[in-house]
Chain A
Amino acid sequence: MTYSNRWKDFPDYIIGITREIWEDRGIETLNQYYAPDILVRTPMGMAIGNLSTINATMATLAEFPDRELLAEDVIWSVDDNGHHLSSHRIITTGTHLHDGGFGPATGKRFQVRVIADCAARGDQIDDEWLVRDYGGIVRQLGMDPRTCAAGLIAAEGGPARAKRPFTPNADVPGPYVGTGNDNPWGQRYADTLRRIMDKDFTYVLNAYDRAAIGEFPGAQSVLGARAISGMWLRLRSSFPSATFRIHHRIGMEGAMMSPRAAIRWSLDGIHDGTGWFGAPTGAPIHVMGICHAEYGPWGLRREYVLFDEIAIWKQILMHKGEA
């Protein structure tokens, strides 16, 4: 790998370029670090090409000039062709100092998590999936996720013309075709998520540490296996018949760290139950999720779950024809 001259290892490269691009304001280095035709998939939609990443980065920094991106973990794998996949968990903070995509400046501070799955070859990122806790930002700026989604639809020309959130049929295959690795910790976490999605919520009470910490969308932090089980239930209950799929699975054991896992997954189906997203509407829904887990001697000890509440509300409201 060509990055070896500048960076100690793969996580160091990921953490280093994140800092260089966003915090040290080396936005033009995206030309070097991001492939020109990169596909960045987020729950809100797909961005094609490096230029859109550069422009979006500037827009964010214009609105939140003190934005920081604190690397919390890098869980990674490498496929047979030397193609790396980094699942990078970041705490992002900023103050809403200027008007922008989140409306008139509120002066409020946000602090939420993001997980970015980036494929890298050499020292260039060439494929990406990113889930931001959009709902957490919105709540911390004093707004409500549903109202925010309605506002976006209105601003984009109403339910018929607003930009559609990401769905699998709008996806374009990118250069990365890996599915992760076979490390047992990844397999174990995949099994846990499958059981949860099979509605075996009791399992959570056994597989998780009684005192586990769970971090959920909306910047909602919960304590204990029972509370974590309740959060998963609220999600599944909104889309009880949706199909659950695992797209990427990494398990990893590293020096100075608990064994851990990173899984990218999706739910496809209909908003046909009452739960996290209110009364059922029959809206077709795609949920892009990325989760990280850390294991300890008493079970799953910390879990970080990300999906985008705003992208889900947008799908619901566009289906209902509401803005």
Chain B
Amino acid sequence: MQGFDPKWRDVPDFIFGVTREIWEDRNIASLRHRYAPGLIVRSPASVVIDTSNVIAATMATLAEFPDRELPGEDVIWCEDPARTTPQSAAFLSSHRLISWATHIHAGVYGAPTGRRLCYRILADCAIRDDRIDDEWLVRDQGAIVRQMGFDLVGWTRDLITREGGPEHCVKPMTPHNDAPGPYAGRGNDSPWGARLADTITAIMAAEMGVIATAWDRAANLHYPGGEPAFGQAAADQFWMGLRASFPNAAFTLDHVIGREDPLMPPRAAVRWSLWGKHDGWGRFGRPTGAEVYVMGITHVDFGPFGTKGEPAIRNEFTLIDDAAIWKQILLHTGDL
């Protein structure tokens, strides 16, 4: 790890360690060193530019959820040769983490509900020179809101009001407000990444039949909203429901990593997006014609039990931000 503090053994150790430092050890000021100045953090809910704003958002979250813990579940990473310098190695880390927290104080989510939360986050971070200098993040906002006991659409409507109405509210990320950062990599050339990328591409082309061979019959699935599901039928229902809502949207593969590591099954991380009109019935109800941008991140573990003897997806973790999608729909329809 040329260019990184020697206390970090490898990329996962750096990512897990930095997360712990900031969130659990309360060393929020370390963000000034750990995050590059001008860092862009893109999430479906917003595009946050500059570390000072990231620090402010971090403190706001910890004020609302003081006991928040963020154990890391996996880090699927690749080298970034284009940005490697004589001084530092460079990487892209796709980090899957769990967030546990109690909604103790009032904040972005409204009056405190006292509810105990458990949800997943997928965060793609570009790292170099011992710090994070570009980021894409999807939080399971749907799980958070449901676990607080709210209806997702109603809560999103209230959020728009709390943020000052349709004119002033925080705008979800779209290609219009996205800003280019220093990282322009597309991932690595591992066949496991290509396998997952091909599978998602086929699904987005409505070739839903691939699910019968690409997924293990007993696959464990973790979709937005946080309810665990099993098997090919559940995979079909999630992907069908998503694509059916945006049947003509442009699909883009934004980043593809595959890895084989000791003690782990082969796995892959793909960041993808949909950009187009909400013009079909599906996961988001009645079509509204709203222009919607969906950023998704998918992690999978492969295993040997494919129905035709080929490798198949045994564990899948896909996140989109249902609240950010509803926000775009509500801002379009004006049903506030």
Interface, chain A (partner B; CB < 8 A): 8, 11-12, 15, 68, 70-73, 90-91, 93, 111, 209-211, 221, 223-224, 254-259, 295-298
Separation of A259 and B262 alpha carbons in the complex (Å): 10
Interface, chain B (partner A; CB < 8 A): 12, 71-73, 97-98, 100, 118, 217-218, 220, 228, 230-231, 261-266, 302-305, 309, 311
In the complex, are the beta carbons of B264 and A258 less than 8 A apart?
yes
Distance in Å from the Cβ of A215 to the closest Cβ of chain B? 9
**Other-chain contact of A211, B73, B217, B220, B231 (Cβ < 8 Å):** B73
Separation of A245 and B116 alpha carbons in the complex (Å): 37
In the complex, are the beta carbons of B217 and A70 less than 8 A apart?
yes
Distance in Å from the Cβ of A230 to the closest Cβ of chain B? 13
In the complex, are the beta carbons of B305 and A71 less than 8 A apart?
yes
A70-B218, A211-B98 are contacts. A224–B231 as well, Cβ < 8 Å?
A: no
In the complex, are the beta carbons of A297 and B262 less than 8 A apart?
yes
Closest A residue to B230 by beta carbon equals A91
In the complex, are the beta carbons of B218 and A296 less than 8 A apart?
no
Q: Which 6 A-B pairs have the closest CB atoms?
A: A70-B218, A210-B71, A211-B71, A72-B218, A211-B73, A70-B217
**Other-chain contact of B72, A91, A211, A257 (Cβ < 8 Å):** A211
**Other-chain contact of A256, B218, B228, B266 (Cβ < 8 Å):** B266
Q: Which residues of B contact A254 (CB under 8 A)?
A: 304
A sample of 12 cross-chain residue pairs with beta-carbon separation below 8 angstroms, ordered by A number, consists of A11-B305, A70-B217, A73-B305, A209-B73, A221-B228, A224-B71, A254-B304, A255-B304, A257-B265, A258-B263, A296-B264, A297-B12
Closest A residue to B10 by beta carbon equals A297
A256-B265, A257-B304, A259-B263 are contacts. A70–B231 as well, Cβ < 8 Å?
A: yes
Q: Which residues of A contact B302 (CB under 8 A)?
A: 256
Closest B residue to A91 by beta carbon equals B218
Closest B residue to A219 by beta carbon equals B228
Greatest chain B CB density within 10 A among A71, A256, A298 is at A256
* Sample of 15 further A-B pairs with CB below 8 A, known A111-B230, A257-B304: A12-B309, A91-B230, A209-B73, A210-B71, A211-B97, A223-B98, A223-B118, A224-B100, A254-B304, A256-B266, A256-B302, A258-B263, A258-B265, A259-B263, A297-B264
A224-B98, A224-B100, A255-B304 are contacts. A71–B218 as well, Cβ < 8 Å?
A: yes
Distance in Å from the Cβ of A299 to the closest Cβ of chain B? 10
A72-B218, A211-B97 are contacts. A93–B303 as well, Cβ < 8 Å?
A: no
Distance in Å from the Cβ of A138 to the closest Cβ of chain B? 19
The SS class assigned to the A binding surface is strand
Q: Which residues of B contact A295 (CB under 8 A)?
A: 263
In the complex, are the beta carbons of B100 and A71 less than 8 A apart?
no
Separation of A12 and B309 alpha carbons in the complex (Å): 9
In the complex, are the beta carbons of B263 and A91 less than 8 A apart?
no
Separation of A221 and B222 alpha carbons in the complex (Å): 12
Separation of A295 and B264 alpha carbons in the complex (Å): 8
Greatest chain B CB density within 10 A among A12, A209, A210, A295 is at A210
Separation of A140 and B58 alpha carbons in the complex (Å): 40
Distance in Å from the Cβ of A253 to the closest Cβ of chain B? 9
Q: Which residues of A contact B311 (CB under 8 A)?
A: 256
Q: Which residues of B contact A70 (CB under 8 A)?
A: 217-218, 230-231
Separation of A254 and B12 alpha carbons in the complex (Å): 24
Q: Which residues of B contact A259 (CB under 8 A)?
A: 263
Separation of A319 and B144 alpha carbons in the complex (Å): 45
Distance in Å from the Cβ of B175 to the closest Cβ of chain A? 33
Separation of A2 and B263 alpha carbons in the complex (Å): 32
Closest B residue to A253 by beta carbon equals B263
Separation of A221 and B98 alpha carbons in the complex (Å): 14
A70-B217, A70-B218 are contacts. A297–B263 as well, Cβ < 8 Å?
A: yes
Q: Which residues of B contact A298 (CB under 8 A)?
A: 72
Q: Which residues of A contact B228 (CB under 8 A)?
A: 221
Separation of A20 and B118 alpha carbons in the complex (Å): 40
**Other-chain contact of B231, A15, A93, A209, A258 (Cβ < 8 Å):** A93
In the complex, are the beta carbons of A256 and B231 less than 8 A apart?
no
Distance in Å from the Cβ of B111 to the closest Cβ of chain A? 26
Q: Which residues of A contact B72 (CB under 8 A)?
A: 210-211, 298
Closest A residue to B301 by beta carbon equals A258
Distance in Å from the Cβ of B333 to the closest Cβ of chain A? 34
In the complex, are the beta carbons of A296 and B230 less than 8 A apart?
no
Separation of A11 and B118 alpha carbons in the complex (Å): 35
Closest A residue to B227 by beta carbon equals A221
Q: Which residues of A contact B265 (CB under 8 A)?
A: 256-258
Closest A residue to B20 by beta carbon equals A210
Distance in Å from the Cβ of B100 to the closest Cβ of chain A? 7
Closest A residue to B232 by beta carbon equals A70
Q: Which residues of B contact A210 (CB under 8 A)?
A: 71-72
In the complex, are the beta carbons of B261 and A297 less than 8 A apart?
yes
Closest A residue to B304 by beta carbon equals A256
A211-B97, A297-B262, A297-B263 are contacts. A257–B303 as well, Cβ < 8 Å?
A: yes
In the complex, are the beta carbons of B217 and A71 less than 8 A apart?
yes
Q: Which residues of B contact A68 (CB under 8 A)?
A: 231
Separation of A257 and B263 alpha carbons in the complex (Å): 8
Separation of A249 and B261 alpha carbons in the complex (Å): 26
Q: Which residues of B contact A296 (CB under 8 A)?
A: 263-264
Closest B residue to A90 by beta carbon equals B218
Closest A residue to B217 by beta carbon equals A70
Separation of A298 and B97 alpha carbons in the complex (Å): 14
Separation of A186 and B261 alpha carbons in the complex (Å): 21
Closest A residue to B16 by beta carbon equals A298
Separation of A8 and B97 alpha carbons in the complex (Å): 37
Separation of A111 and B302 alpha carbons in the complex (Å): 22
Separation of A209 and B12 alpha carbons in the complex (Å): 14
Separation of A71 and B232 alpha carbons in the complex (Å): 13
Distance in Å from the Cβ of B203 to the closest Cβ of chain A? 21
Q: Which residues of A contact B118 (CB under 8 A)?
A: 223
Separation of A12 and B220 alpha carbons in the complex (Å): 20
Q: Which residues of A contact B100 (CB under 8 A)?
A: 224
Q: Which residues of B contact A221 (CB under 8 A)?
A: 228
Separation of A297 and B265 alpha carbons in the complex (Å): 11
